[in-house]
Chain A
């Protein structure tokens, strides 16, 4: 763990008690994430990738092990608004305009009026939605709504961006476009991004590191550092280098399923 480490988890475990007995959502998960990294978490349903992200966000509470965010507990990190969280659904308030939705966290955090307006303008420009300030969410497409939710997470300038399958509900064309946009945005802002996904190409295209996870119990089976250059045009998906990384992710996912279960 260096002084550049933003998120550090050691032997993190989380067990849910259910009617059918304990469910080991996470077991002994250890991972350090450095400042400015783009880390993707990939794995089948139930592998604990979302739970891990929620632990970082203080939305779930680990039952064992330790996790720090910015060197503090997730609770302190949440209270100091250290991260922005993007969910699978945009979750915009239908009664607020686009600008009003982006303003929401800023109101809650009691930013001054001028500061608020400047930030709204800046982040909407960043997600290429300038001019949509006074539209209502229902007037926007799903992809645009999700960009608003990213702008909302960026508005208060947290250094960490936690994204839980943000493009999972979108079609592939929109998803490709947003991936390119997200990559550009990451380079512009230098934020640390943790990104949960189901899609192998998405994970390989975006990440500096890919964390492969597997279920029962939820654990990390492989961590792959990407050798791709930081310049990533779309065509990079057809290069042998890209396909090689994708192949390794695929193998990692398969190995995680080593023991078939007949539940």
Chain B
């Protein structure tokens, strides 16, 4: 444990130092500008402290982001307003719900397509190119159209955003599960064949269990892709709620600190969700005797 803590702390410290230096360098022109207009001369110390405390810095310093994040999470919880519209927790929750729904839909679609590809000759020959083509379309281009089309048939709110998440997350699941369902060796297939097992039995007893390590690897990627999809899906909806909305409204008003705290929040959310999959993976595979 201690052996891994030391390198992590070293790297983190180096990153923070680099960040503070970069913040000072990037925000210095604005500090000079202000000083020139006010007709005062800045000492080095004053300059640095100004670059780290601007209201709309080009690059906010870590402590500014930390303060903003505390203001919009912990402090709001203390005041009992954890789910007010100004709270990052509320926006994270909005993003999380479309991420989770999109992830579940995407996983379901991915597994269904993979089963089709493995078991159906026509699908095997035809589906994969379309699946790959679907991912070559920039999501930013297709997201507004999904929102508009679904809105036109009366579907709005959570579902359109979840659809965009699904669009991104089904892909790694298809690829991983096709590989996983095909992972049993020829000998194992011959063996189960000698017992004249039905296709359904072969699926449940051999192919599906064999695919588990592949499935979990895919789910981790799918989870991260779902989150990206959810955030992108929030942009064209008019930036009402969600981490994507915070990013967009922050950029409208040049609120770089708000943008960065939404970014950090999104990264934290992603880390938690992917970590959760990792935990389920460890428990499942060790109970299956495969880890």
A positions within 8 Å CB-CB of B = 57-59, 78-79, 81, 83-85, 87, 89, 91, 93-97, 104-105, 107-109, 136-138, 156
Contacts and interface: CB of A to CB of B under 8 A. Distances in A.
A79 B193 contact: no
A148 to B, nearest CB: 13
Given A104-B205, A108-B197, A108-B205, A94 B191 contact: no
A105 B194 CA distance: 9
Contacts of B205: 104, 107-108
A204 B18 CA distance: 77
Interface residues of B, number: 19
Interface of B: 185, 187-188, 190-197, 201, 205-206, 209, 212, 288-290
A245 to B, nearest CB: 31
A105 B195 contact: yes
A59 to B, nearest CB: 5
Contacts of A57: 194
| Secondary structure of the B contact surface, majority rule | helix
A97 B193 CA distance: 21
B158 to A, nearest CB: 37
Given A58-B194, A59-B194, A79-B196, 17 more contacts: A57-B194, A59-B190, A78-B194, A85-B190, A87-B191, A91-B187, A91-B188, A94-B288, A94-B290, A95-B209, A95-B290, A96-B289, A105-B195, A107-B205, A108-B205, A136-B289, A138-B289
A138 B286 CA distance: 13
A108 B193 contact: no
Contacts, number: 50
A57 B196 CA distance: 11
A108 B185 CA distance: 19
A76 to B, nearest CB: 10
A15 to B, nearest CB: 20
A123 to B, nearest CB: 15
Nearest to B190: A59
Nearest to B197: A108
A83 B188 contact: no
Contacts of A78: 193-194, 196
Nearest to A156: B195
B201 A108 contact: yes
Contacts of B206: 93
B41 to A, nearest CB: 73
A83 B289 contact: no
B211 to A, nearest CB: 11
